[in-house]
Structure 1
Amino acid sequence: MTLPEIPYWFLYTYLAALIMLPFLRALATKLSEQEFKYLIYLQLILTGILPIMQYVFRMGSVDLSVPFVSTDVIFYMLLGYYLHVRRPDIAANKSIVRTVWILAFLGLVITIAMVLYQFHLTHVLSEQSSQTFFMLFTILPAGAIFLFFQNHEQKLKSRKQHLFINFFAPAVLGVYLLEEMYRILLLPVFTWLLPLVGSFIACWIWVLVVVSLAALTINVVRLIPPVKKYL
């Protein structure tokens, strides 16, 4: 019996980001407003428009990239700094936020269209094949969600809302580390619900139970003072 592969790639990426943080901080503080915008436009072109052009014009596999600009661990940390520190006013601008949400929806539609187009050409529709266009325009929904919660955070007045965020937010890394174990242990929840509500809803309930239990575990463990410093 072989053990399932635990998806710790995110942890490796997180550690790499921490190691690079002093250099990224120096870079972020020196970039001008125009340079941040240039970086965003490059990301849209290199990870959104370029892969589509490569595939549609049959220029081979979708593998052309410019590493530094299109590397997620670098770009999204710079984007977070720009939206949270340099331009926090953007989150309160309803016109800009609405535009970003519309573009995010269009990006999703284009992504689905490209997956269907690939299926039309190859007659193959699998998890692996759909990954070809999985990362198209991810900057748009990522930016929209970030702006939404940034604006929502500023409007929080209810103590219950604060408790909800304070319960889950500090436990994100811990949930990531534990979810594989709880997902396997709680698989009977999914199999029990499957014939009752269907696979889609059963999967949602299963995931919510896994995340909630993992967050509860981490919050209990964080009550131990030395552990709280690291989780």
Structure 2
Amino acid sequence: MRTYRDEGIVVGGHKLGEADRIIVILSRNHGLVRAVAKGIRRTKSRFGSRLEPFMLIDFQCHVGRNLDIVTQVELIDPFARAIAADYDAYSAASVMAETATRLTEAEPRTRTQYLLLVSAVRSLCNREHPPRLSLDAYLLRAMAVAGWAPSLMDCAQCGESGPHRAFSPALGGAVCSACRPQGTALPTTETIIHLAALLSGDWNRAEATAEHNSAEASRLVMMYVQWHLERHVKSFSILENA
């Protein structure tokens, strides 16, 4: 019987039959794992809450014909408990989990994305930064790791030194007036500088940004992510309704 063991963070799942559930785990060494947790929806399940979203786990799976089967789970860090207690943190973590899933579903090597997600969710749990700032920083870095790092100072098209006001997701970030397509967003310079601070981890500058610039930056990040993923991130609707 072929089995494997790894650590990972639960990023989703859905019901299967009357008592089972398909669990989606972003793992350190085995990419994005989709596996069946048998009987998990019964009250006497031996796995129980250990496979709830945002739990950091050590798990073992048996390799199945179509789907692997979870055979053992040990809890490393119960992120879900702190996340569920704060709606803003839950909203941010939901977007993080969905984005991580989209970025890794076709990638065999996901260790860097895994470590980035774990770090971001742990930061949410520890209340290190405001949840929306943590989310925007995570999204920018996750896109960069995936090969879509936005240009936030020099023009994404011609390379002219910035900062520049125009921001085009399709062209790769900030663009100069000569390269700016018609209808491109025109955020303030402060907003672009805020995005650069989030991407680089300059939290002192990021947290000092005015609220309206921070909100404008969040909208740009949302546009950028959805453009490059070429699909709607459903969990963004949680943020819009918050």
Under TM normalisation by the shorter chain, which class is it? Answer: under 0.3
Q: Rg larger in 1 or in 2?
A: 1
Larger proportion of strand? 2
For CA contacts below 8 A with separation 6 or more, give which structure has more relative contact order.
1
* Higher share of residues assigned helix: 1
Normalised to the residue count of structure 2, the TM-score between the two structures is 0.24
